Amino acid sequence: MFTKDWTPFTMPTGETIYRPTIKVFVKEVTDFYLYRFLVDSGADLLMAPYSLFCKLGKKWEDGEKRFLRGISPKEECIVEGRVHDVDILIGEISVQINISICFVKENVPFILGRESFFNYFIITFDKPAKKTTFAFVDTSI
């Protein structure tokens, strides 16, 4: 188990907000590289931009096609993505897991949603303390 402080973000208005994030190592073609992801219990999928996908050595068309829609019901807000399995390493507990990430050819944030990632952790958000606790669940048992 480990706990992470929330990350401060400065808004265009100058206001500072705090969000739950975690740094994970993503397996690219030759090695693991560090990325910061937003931990989002309201997101169904894990998501990352196409720029990361290009570093994985995979074929775009081999991924499962998904159409993503946020809170807007408008057709023009639908975005196409591709789901690929990716190895990540959680440095705080030295655990490597294989998760499915939906990559999108748009300007999207790095998001760890419920599908896949949340299968490996019991995650507790403590908003007043601005901390998130991750308890690893060994799914191999």
- Alpha-carbon span 68 to 102, nearest angstrom: 9
Read off the pLDDT of residues 92-110 as tens digits, 9 standing for 90 and up. Answer: 888 889 899 999 988 889 9
Q: Where are the alpha helices (DSSP H) in the chain?
A: 50-53
Read off the pLDDT of residues 51-73 as tens digits, 9 standing for 90 and up. Answer: 999 999 999 999 999 887 766 67
Instruction: Report yes or no on whether pTM surpasses 0.85.
Output: yes
What does the pLDDT read at residue 80? Answer: 85
What does the pLDDT read at residue 92? Answer: 85
If DSSP codes are grouped into helix, strand and coil, which group holds residue 134? Answer: strand
What does the pLDDT read at residue 88? Answer: 93
Domain ranges of the chain: 2-136
Give which of 16, 20, 9 is closest to 112, Cα–Cα: 20
Assess contact for 18 and 7: CB atoms under 8 A. yes
Residues 6+ apart with CB under 8 A from 73: none
Residues of the chain short of pLDDT 50, as ranges, are none
Is the domain spanning 2-136 CATH 2.40.70.10? The answer is: yes
Dihedral angle sign, alpha carbons of residues 7, 24, 119, 136: negative
What does the pLDDT read at residue 115? Answer: 86
What does the pLDDT read at residue 82? Answer: 92
Q: Look up tokens 């655990």; give the residue.
A: 95
Q: What are the two backbone dihedrals, phi and then psi, of residue 65, each rounded to the nearest 5 degrees?
A: -75, 135
